[in-house]
Amino acid sequence: MTSRTSFPQIQSLRLPSMRETVESSVPSPIPVHRLVNEGPWRLTQSDGLVLLHGHPAVLQLGLCAAVDRSLTGEPLFYLDGANSFDPFLIGSLTRAAGSLPRTILPSIQVSRAFTCHQMVQLVTERLGPALRDARGSSVILSGPLETFYDETVPAAKAVRLAQVLFASLRLLVGQGCRILCLCPPPSLPRRGHLLEALRRRADRVIDAVESHEGLLLRERRAGVLSSWRIPLTY
């Protein structure tokens, strides 16, 4: 008999007090405090499913998107499969944008997934009702595939669960949800096909690659290639 995997509820996030002096636990290779309102990762009404991938820094760019959405007062759901949510950096980004961290507290709800089963259950069972209750439409999935790279999970099972996840994401998009998926390079290269499968299902795909000047973001839409450069220093 298979036991049901338990996982944390989607819940409001408590940011650290402004009096706390602990430094951010995620070192930043890019000046993210300048990027809250300046990137193509911003979620707009018509975006649907957006994939930002290709460089580990996409996880930090997702925090910029989180602050950008939260500053509007709109409910935001942040599902973390990469253990990358950094409340100290969120606080720093909020202050850099000219606001106090406590002003975005009511609008951020976060939950972490430690296994692929938890990620699938969060998206398929918990996210829809949570969105309806909060009357929200914006979701950030940080590392949605990271737990699928676990070698203890058989490859066939990972593929099957990923298909369920992708179908649920498309269903949510069809209901008006805007979803930003942040995917660093696969930690298990032989399962990189899962990322390609997600890429095929995305409405927008933004590639992040390292260049000699910093980080280069590229997106091709309707045959037109757009690019953004993020220097390492300003």
Does the pLDDT of residue 82 top 60, yes or no? Answer: yes
Query: What's the pLDDT score for residue 93?
Result: 84
Instruction: Give the pair of three-digit tokens for residue 50.
Output: 């957006």
- C-alpha angle 185-140-164 in degrees, rounded to nearest 5: 75
Write the pLDDT tens digit of every residue in 132-168: 888 888 999 999 999 999 999 999 999 999 999 999 9
Please indicate whether residue 158 or residue 6 has the higher confidence score (pLDDT).
158
Measured between alpha carbons, how far is 49 from 181 in angstroms, rounded to an integer? 8
Instruction: Give the pair of three-digit tokens for residue 106.
Output: 């009511």
Domains along the chain with CATH numbers:
38-221 (3.40.50.300)
Query: What's the pLDDT score for residue 7?
Result: 40
Please indicate whether residue 45 or residue 217 has the higher confidence score (pLDDT).
217
Please indicate whether residue 19 or residue 176 has the higher confidence score (pLDDT).
176
Query: What's the pLDDT score for residue 19?
Result: 30
Query: What's the pLDDT score for residue 65?
Result: 87
Measured between alpha carbons, how far is 40 from 49 in angstroms, rounded to an integer? 13
Q: Strands 11-12 and 214-221, how do they pair?
A: unpaired
Instruction: Provide, rounded to the nearest whole percent, the portion of the chain with pLDDT above 90.
Output: 46
Confidence of residue 92 (pLDDT cuts 50, 70, 90): confident
Residue 55: exposed, middle, or buried by beta-carbon count in 10 A (0-12, 13-18, 19+)? buried
Please indicate whether residue 31 or residue 119 has the higher confidence score (pLDDT).
119
What type of residue is 109? Q
Write the pLDDT tens digit of every residue in 106-133: 788 889 999 999 999 999 999 999 998 8
Of 71-80, 92-101, 186-195, which gets the smallest average pLDDT?
92-101
The answer to whether residues 92 and 35 touch, using CB atoms and an 8 Å cutoff, is: no
The mean per-residue pLDDT over the stretch 8-35 comes to 41
